[in-house]
Amino acid sequence: MSPTRAALVLEDGAVFLGEAFGAAGSARGEVVFNTGMTGYQEVLTDPSYAGQMVVMTYPLVGNYGINLDDSESWKPHVRGFIVREVCDEPSHWRSVQSLNDYLKANRILGLSGVDTRALTRHLRRHGTLRGVLTTDIPQERAGHGPDTAALPPDVPDAALPPEMVARLAEEARQVRLDGIVAEVTTPRPYHFGLPLPVASEPPFRVAVLDFGVKQNILRELVRHGCDVTVLPAATPADDVLALHPDGVLLSNGPGDPKDVPEAVDTTRALLGRVPIFGICLGHQILALSLGADTYKLGYGHRGSNHPVKDLASGRITITTQNHGYAIRDESVADLPVTVTHRNLNDRTVEGLRHLELPAFSVQYHPEAGPGPQDSDQLFDAFLQQMRDFRNRHDQACGGGTNTERGADSGLGAGAPNTQPATI
Amino acid sequence: MPKDPTLKKVMVIGSGPIVIGQAAEFDYAGTQACQSLREEGLQVVLVNSNPATIMTDPAMADRVYIEPLAPEYVAEVIARERPDGLLPTLGGQVGLNLAVELARQGVLQRHGVRLLGTPLEAIQKAEDRELFKATMAALGEPVPESRIVHKVAEALEFAEATGYPVIVRPAYTLGGTGGGLADNPDDLESVTRRGLKLSPVGQCLIERSVAGFKEVEYEVLRDGRDNAVIVCNMENVDPVGIHTGDSIVVAPSQTLSDKEYQMLRSASLRIIRSLGIQGGCNVQFALDPKSQQYYVIEVNPRVSRSSALASKATGYPIAKVAAKIAIGLGLDEIVNPVTGSTTAGFEPALDYVVVKIPRWPFDKLTTALRSLGTQMKATGEVMAIERTFEAALLKAVRSVELGRMGLWRPGLAAVEEEELTRRLTAADDERLWLVAEALRRGRTVEQVSDQTGIDRYFVERTARIVRMERELRAVAEGGAAGTPSLPAPPGQPAGSKQTSAAPPGPGEPLPSDLLRRAKRLGLADAQIAALTGTTEEDVRAQRLGRGIGSVYKMVDTCAAEFEAATPYYYATYEGEDELAPSTRPRVLVLGSGPIRIGQGIEFDYASVHAVKAIRASGREALIINCNPETVSTDFDTADRLFFDPLALEDVLNVIESEQPQGVICQFGGQTAINLAGSLAERGVTILGTAVEEMDRAEDRRKFDALLEETGVPRPAGGAVTSAPEALEVASRVGYPVLVRPSYVLGGRAMEIVYTPDELVDYMHRAVLVSHDRPVLVDRYLSGVELEVDAVADGQDVLVAGIMQHVERAGVHSGDSIAVYPTPGVSESVRRQVVDHTVTLARALKVRGLLNLQFVAAGEDVYVLEVNPRSSRTVPYLTKVTGLPLVTLATQVILGQSLRELGYSTGLWPEPPYVGVKAPVFSWSKLLQVDTALGPEMKSTGEVMGLGETYAEALYKALLAAGIAPPEGKPVLITVADRDKAEVLEVARGLAAHGHTIFATAGTCRYLLQNGVSAEPVYKLSEGSTEILDLIRGGTVGLVVNTMTRGRAPERDGFQIRRTAVEHGVACLTSLDTAQALLTVMAGEAGREPNGEKAAAGHAFLRVRSLQEYQALAAPLPGGPQP
């Protein structure tokens, strides 16, 4: 059986032909590339990729199949997945499904056989482009066997009709990612897991504003002994505070931070009243709430090898990144914040800390999944921030009780009582 | 500026000769380190005994000492140079052990030398098995259950408790020397005994075997501020149990999920941090293929073979960065030279697959045990880069130059099923081809994976190649006969996988799609041709006609994320070509491929200098090579590096893309020379000596005609194709005769034959080796062998020097000790040698280098061989004379005349000092190989000794080669009858120096009769093991043994020689070498003040840098003698 031909047509008219895998049909989105050599399952299921079609620069994808543990959310969020070669015979003791079957089951289009390096170079030169991925192209080409789909576009009979390219490019230019956060945030609050008991102190209650949160952030919080409640992106500040959280985590998520002004407002209202930790989109939202500005990067940072320097300690950390926007450097100059981290590759802002208030954020992903586990201490820093705040607050209020706050949470219906029995 | 301002002068220790387990990778590392340190404004002092390296070029360091890598010599250099720091981690295990020893002896402290980079205790923690175990335990990193032992009994006790099999790992040895897997107490006893002997600290680790686990390695770099990055991870295709140096390795890992990748990455970082390493480090893990359980197997606290591979696989210059870290710089302060804009503090992202295949010496050492285990046996390796595993694998197969263009070989079809299973399970050097053969016969991927322990993923990828073979064959057969004539594998009718396209008729082209898919999968044109019954040329024409050509992609460390300016490319069959056309004139140099016996690092040395000379001439230098260990494949050596196989197809692809002015073949050894003819046939311009002239020197009949014409004499002989013819020639010229097949390098299958019976026997065996090529039968002249390297421009012939071989003709020149200038050769002989050289160079219109071998029998000089190319001795001669031979040759090749360059015809003036080159062998790694020297080359590397006198230079060379005078210990002599008269002098000399002599009956009697006192020992054939016990027990300090004919004595001799090698006792199989040793002892005695007995070598304990030596030689360029 011949594989189905599929094409990726970019808004500038560039065409990349290959073989379809996963689902058939058409999809549109922003086309971005990821340089990670492992972790495709995590990438597929990372809600930050919502609205995007991801090109993996590493050519062989699907080698270890899909397993039950490594998803970052309950379903894949990419709109299309573009690889040089997809492996149909995965080999791994945890694998339960091939990548092809997984995408098929989730009705996501895949494209293989593409010169992904050429595509990546194209995106690097022209910046992130929108595109259409479709199997609705002429399939029959007389005299050719099963490989015809993978013919490079410079082979004359492989090319698509020009009017079709023009139409698809026009379609690509229609792609908008507005409101993408609303698509991926939780519709209702929920309680995540059981905090692991940590010696000598009551667990920290953390409210996570879900802009498209990765499961690993929640897992890390739980592992650090936090009691985690996940809230919809549009939760107003008062509702957040009503939970009496020890801290608020602004999660990662897809798209432009300026498309979620309500989250910026919420954050502004929370500043100073509760410790805040922002990750990725959460970092940008925190910056906007402080009056800084963001801009769109040429082609973003997506991969597991981005070096970030901690400006205070001089330490370099290899980080996982996935963002298309960044904080405008000069916009923070007069704000009461300090730039704590910078990207060693392009010197962009990678971390901020408020000079007075308990709020800090990083552009990268300390939770890993996929990528290096080198930034775990940021969760400890968040814990310390909450601890300091709690101590100050307790002194100021003459020792408020944790039980009080726990009792009237009113959220997370059906959530188990997460307070350790000793309290 | 270095971060540490107190550092002004830094010493770098090299790794010495090439041996199995330590090849050219340390030339790459040391060269990068020297450049890196000098970039920072430091003075560099280098010590290395290997003259064939780029790193020992006088331009590489401020002071280059080519001296033995023995503590007393390095200490002498330190005392003389007073460096502020010592960089020990770039010279392999040899350099590291030496630094540890110097520190232990207090030499470093005494001279205020700081150990740079990784601190001593970190080295000890990683190297010492006991400390390592304790460190891992403290860190919570799992290691396989094990016990450190100093006695055999302790090993047996441990294995009794944990069960067999167990692995024996001797402490502080190279490439797993002396280690092995033991299934039972008997094996364990012998392996442990050997291991304890070979470990410099008499220590072994006995470890529970985790054979069958996945083997995964991480290359880590850490700076002095605790920043640490992973440069690359690598997965061994072969499971744990096969030494990583003998495994097919792929980078990055292919079967690890991100969780596992990160789990092991984090463990690597914890380990490097806890050890406190500053610089490069390699961590090896065993990972259960069925769970997340892993074990740390080994940590190398230094740059290694794996880091060279990782460096070339990613483009990240590990050694360069490690050197900068050692002098105090942080990763973020070091620029990534590949992008030019980012820093060294990052982790490379690959967008291709890298496959490494080892190169084993079994084609030369045919009797060696070919099974693979924990002791490394490969002499070198090749690396291939492609976009898929299959294509990278097939490229690597082409690169390794074993005459195989793919995974299909008709010969394997004859292997019986049971034998196939046994070999798949046991693992040997042909494993990859056997896996393919098993799949071809219809064994399932599961079955093959179970039998080999190779992950299903890799077997499945191999199966895809096999399926493509079948498809190609089916199409061809379908076209030719309508039905497949090849037997269909069980369960899979041939032709069932045919494409939808109609099969072509006879002589019809292959379907475009099939051809395109085959090329994308990586099949060579030659392989496609073999499978479809056509020619390589036809396949090439077919695909080029249909636009199926290769394109070039860049290795940029960052998967195209950033703009990179690297000149580092690989070919693939895909859309975009990244090769930007250049307008400058350019010249292509063919490299020399993997390091192997007969073609070592010398040819990489020559390739690199050719590239430099081309660049200096204002042209662009392009190079093709596939050896990841070398300087030639460093990212900044050439203007453009093509990391591709040195196979015709791949070379033509580069030529078509680059359109160079011409190709230079004479520096890349036989690999490049073999390509010259095919390239010329296809209209490629070969620069330098014309291809037909090269052929005149190689082809026996043409060569004879040439000698006839020029009147240069050669030993009588003839070319024969049958035994009767051979007997006829032999009886005409007289026995003994030297026999060899034509068209081989490195003396393969060459023998000295003493009787007609032996000759008939040889002809029967040799015909199998050489097919229809004739066998050469020559009179064997037992004279002095002389060797010459020269540069010619078609008119003038500059004879760089005449070297004399210590061992007489009959020992391969590559295994002989060479001396320059010649100590005892008459003026008339020298004149004849120069005259013949000039005559032949002119007759062959040589443009570039040529190497000649002569034998002088009395005052008569005969030519043995003329090689119009670079030779093994070129770097050695260059270093002794200071005459830049390769540079001159390249300038000549590019069109300049010697006269324009300031040189003329004649012998270059000889310097007032002596250089001796000695061969180095890797006997201890290769079981069942006879150590007796003969016409077949066996050495893997070489060292050089320099001195004022022959004795001094010889002493240093022998010491560096591991042949020290026996230091007062008794000597064992057992020689063939024909050698008895000759051994007398040796024995007399040894006795005069106070050595007791043990000898077997015949030899003993002869010595006693001639007034040399000797003690008799029983022969093995007399039913006693006394002789072996003397060696094993360390009673004797030297063995002199020559080959005796006949079954029993041969076996005896073999056992004696092997026992000596395995117990680290020097064993001389040539009386010439023994004589040379006496020269040293006499020379030493002559220098002893007041006739007092000095410690061994004391008399020669003087060092001088190469720069100082060369300053004593004639100034350059000077007028050579007419």
pLDDT tens digits, A192-216: 987 666 667 888 999 999 999 999 9
In Å, how far are B345, B750, B996 from A238, measured between CA atoms?
44, 92, 99
- Residue range B336-355: average pLDDT? 90
Do the Cβ atoms of A344 and B346 come within 8 Å?
yes
Residue B269 has pLDDT above 50, yes or no: yes
- A77 part of the active site: no
Which of B262, B329, B517 to probe the A interface (max A CBs under 10 A)?
A: B262
User: What is the pLDDT at residue B1095?
Assistant: 47
- Residue with the two structure tokens 């031909």: A5
Max CA distance (Å), chain A = 85
**Prior bond of B736 cis (ω within 30°):** yes
Is residue B1070 helix, strand or coil? coil
Residue B482's CB is within 10 A of a number of other CB atoms, namely 9
Kindly report which listed range (B126-135, B273-282, B910-919) carries the lowest average pLDDT score. B126-135
Give the nearest chain B residue to A70 (CA atoms): B259
pLDDT value of position A199:
62
B413 in Cβ contact with B489 (< 8 Å): no
| Cβ–Cβ under 8 Å, residues B1046 and B1075 | no
Secondary structure E strands in B254-305: 279-287, 294-300
Q: What gap in Å lies between CA B553 and CA B438, rounded to an integer?
A: 34
Decide: pTM greater than 0.90. yes
What would the pLDDT profile of B418-477 be if each residue is shown by its tens digit?
999 999 999 999 999 999 999 999 999 999 999 999 999 999 999 999 999 999 999 888
A59 or A394: which carries more pLDDT confidence?
A59
pLDDT of residue B810: 75
What distance in Å separates residue A258's CA from the closest CA in chain B? 26
By C-alpha distance, the chain B residue nearest A120 is B560
- Lowest-confidence range among B275-279, B697-701, B740-744, B917-921? B740-744
Residue A346 CB neighbour total at 10 angstroms:
14
List, for residues B75-107, the tens digit of each pLDDT value.
999 999 999 999 998 888 899 999 999 999 999
B455 lies within 8 A of chain A by CB: yes
Per-residue pLDDT tens for B832-872? 999 999 999 999 999 999 999 999 999 999 999 999 999 99
Give chain A's length. 423
Instruction: Give the chain B residue nearest A15 (alpha carbons).
Output: B575
Closest-CA distance of chain B to residue A392, Å: 34
**Of residues A305, A295, A292, the one with CA closest to residue A256:** A295
pLDDT digits (tens, 9 = 90+) for A358-410: 999 999 999 999 999 999 999 999 999 999 999 887 777 654 444 444 434 44
Strand-pair partners of B1017: B1000
For testing contact with chain A, the best of B338, B351, B510 (most A CBs within 10 A): B351
Q: Is the pLDDT of residue B967 over 70?
A: yes
CA distances from B903 to B792, B793, B845, B886 (A): 10, 11, 17, 14
Residues of B in contact with A215 (CB under 8 A): none
What region, left, alpha or beta, does residue B290 occupy, with left being phi > 0 and alpha being psi -120 to 50 degrees? alpha
The C-alpha of B296 sits at a distance from chain A's nearest C-alpha, in angstroms, of 19
Query: In this structure, what token pair is assigned to residue B648?
Result: 């015709």
Rounded to 5 degrees, φ, ψ at B316 are -85, 120
> Does B481 have pLDDT greater than 60?
no
- With 90 as the cut, is the pLDDT of residue B567 above it? no
Under an 8 A CB cutoff, do A344 and B499 touch? Answer: no
A38 within 8 A of A145, measured Cβ to Cβ: no
Position A420 confidence tier, pLDDT thresholds 50, 70, 90: very low
Mean pLDDT within B182-207: 88
Which class for B967: exposed (0-12), middle (13-18), buried (19 or more C-beta within 10 A)?
exposed
For A199, residues 6+ apart whose C-beta sits below 8 A from its C-beta are: none
pLDDT of residue B1022: 83
Residue indicated by tokens 């050289």: B837
- Which of A30-44, B146-160, B1090-1104 has the lowest average pLDDT? B1090-1104
Residue A279 in tokens: 């990750």
Would you call B351 and A57 a contact, using CB atoms and an 8 Å cutoff? yes
Q: How far apart are CA B726 and CA B757, in angstroms?
A: 11
Which among A117, A371, A417 has a CA at the least distance from the CA of B387? A117
Of the listed ranges B10-14, B791-795, B827-831, B1018-1022, the least confidently predicted one is B1018-1022
For A395, how many CA atoms within 13 A lie in the half-sphere containing its CB? 5
Q: Which of A39, A145, A316 sits opposite B258 (nearest CB)?
A: A39
Strand pairing of B204-208 and B180-182?
A: unpaired
The total of other beta-carbon atoms located within 10 Å of residue B5's CB is 8
Radius of gyration of chain B (CA): 29
Chain B 461-500, CB below 8 Å of chain A: which residues? 499-500
Residue count of chain B? 1122
Q: Is A365 a catalytic residue?
A: yes
State phi, psi for A224 to the nearest 5 degrees: -85, 10
Q: How far apart are CA B437 and CA B417, in angstroms?
A: 10
Confidence band, pLDDT 50/70/90 cuts, at residue B365: confident
User: Is B293 in the A-facing interface, judged by CB distances under 8 Å?
Assistant: no
Contacts of A155 in chain B (CB under 8 A): 547
Measured CA to CA, the distance from residue B1070 to residue B1091 in angstroms comes to: 30
Query: In chain B, what is the greatest distance between 2 CA atoms, to the nearest angstrom?
Result: 94
Q: What integer pLDDT is reported at residue B935 of this predicted model? A: 79
- From A122, A280, A301, A354, the catalytic residue: A280
Distance between A261 CA and the closest CA of chain B, angstroms:
31
Residues 6+ apart with CB under 8 A from B935: B738, B740, B747, B750, B751, B752, B810, B811, B812
Task: Report CA-CA distances (Å) from B530 to B548, B596, B789.
Answer: 19, 27, 41
Residue of chain A with shortest Cα separation from B499? A145
Least confident of A92-106, A314-328, B967-981: B967-981
DSSP-derived letter for residue B478 is H
Q: What does DSSP assign to residue B519?
A: H
Q: From CA B222, how far away is CA B229, in angstroms rounded?
A: 7
* Tokens matching residue B619: 């042209």
- Sequence-distant (≥ 6) Cβ neighbours of residue B884 within 8 angstroms: B609, B878
Per-residue confidence band for B327, with pLDDT thresholds at 50, 70 and 90: very high
Q: Which of A72, A71, A74, A40 is nearest to A55 (CA)?
A: A40
Torsion, Cα of B395, B396, B398, B401 (10° steps): 160
Q: Could you tell me if A132 and A11 are in contact, meaning their C-beta atoms sit under 8 angstroms apart?
A: no
Give the pLDDT confidence score for residue B177 in this predicted structure: 73
- Residues in chain B closer than 8 A to A121 (CB atoms): 560, 576, 578
Measure B262 CA to nearest chain A CA, in Å: 6
- Give the pairing type, strands B9-13 and A359-362: unpaired
Q: Which of B291, B350, B445 sits opposite A37 (nearest CB)?
A: B350
Nearest Cβ partner for B388 among A60, A116, A371: A60
Q: Is the peptide bond before A358 cis (omega within 30 degrees of 0)?
A: no
pLDDT at res. A196:
67
Q: What pLDDT digit, counting tens, does each position of A157-177 carry?
A: 567 899 999 999 999 999 999
B502 touching A (Cβ < 8 Å): no
B501 contact residues in A (CB cutoff 8 A)? 143-145
**Tokens read off for A382:** 């968040």
Count of C-beta atoms within a 10 Å radius of residue B1121: 13
Of A303 and A193, the one with more pLDDT: A303
Q: Which two tokens stand for residue B375?
A: 């002791």
Is B332's Cβ below 8 Å from some Cβ in A? yes
Q: Pick from A32, A38, A123, A125 the residue to mutate for testing the B interface (most B CBs within 10 Å).
A: A38
End-to-end CA distance of chain A: 65
Among B947, B922, B974, residue whose Cα is nearest residue B1079: B947
Closest by alpha carbon to B756, among B733, B790, B773? Answer: B733
